[in-house]
Amino acid sequence: MDTQHNRCKLTVVMIDDLCTLDRSVYRDLINLKQISNESEVQALFLGGRSRDLKPEVFVVDVDLQHSIPSHPKIQWPESDKAIKPVGPLLALPLLHAVGGAVFKPYSSNWGDASVLPNGLVLTALSMILAHEKQSSVTIQEAYEEMTERVGTSC
């Protein structure tokens, strides 16, 4: 399909390190793009590309362990699975850079000790939830909201 055609589709950006998604399912429906690490997010706003890229939706995987190389001097919250829960942090600069977009965090590890009870993750999630609700959300409220979502639909 030509560019004009693609401009008429919603653009969904995935902040995800391992994309196991079957992209063919979405090919005729939406434009699907992937960002997998901090460098690609930085390239978006440093290069001014966020003005050209106008996604309607961001889906944000919490754990990006496969896109962040280990370094002996860099520490991460302890976890058996070596989870690196930085996805919500990477979404933060995009909340304002791409105004009007919808952000949806997701994870298969919500129950992991390094994810939902993690204050750093919750700080970032509180920003995303505040953007979604267009009203202030504290870290405590973010914890309660996400716990509820995990317990139900998440």
Partner 1 sequence: MTTAPDAIAEGVKAYRRRLFAHAQAHAIAFFDIEMICSRLQRLKEESAEKRQRLSLPLCDTEPIKITFIDLDGKRRRLEVSSLFADRILELKKRPACIDVISKELIGELGEYSISVTLESFYANVKKLFWQLHEKGVPTHYKKLWSAYVDDQILQLKLSGYEDLTRRVLVEFAWVCAWQIARGGTDAKRCPDAEPEYSGTLSKFLIKEVWECLNITGTPSTTYGRMIPRLQEVMMTPFWRRPCWPEYSETSGDLNGAYQLNRDEEAQMTPLEAWLCRKFAEEPQKDGGLGWSDSEECPYPAWLRAARSVPASTLPSPDRSESPADTGIGRP
- Judged by CB, which is closer to partner 1: 22, or 72? 22
Token representation of residue 39: 């460098």
Question: Contact between 29 and partner 1 (CB under 8 A)?
Answer: yes
Token representation of residue 145: 């909201």
Q: Which residues contact 62 (CB under 8 A, 6 or more apart)?
A: 83, 85, 87, 88, 105, 106, 107, 109, 110, 115, 121
From 28-36, 39-47, 66-74, 89-97, give the range in contact with partner 1 by CB under 8 A: 28-36
118: helix, coil or strand?
coil
Question: Contact between 94 and partner 1 (CB under 8 A)?
Answer: no
H or E stretch including 103?
A: strand 102-106
From 23-31, 39-47, 66-74, 136-144, give the range in contact with partner 1 by CB under 8 A: 23-31
- Kindly list the residues in this chain that would bind partner 1 in the complex (CB under 8 A): 5, 7-10, 12, 14, 16, 19-21, 25-26, 28-30, 56-61, 100-108, 110, 132, 149, 153-154
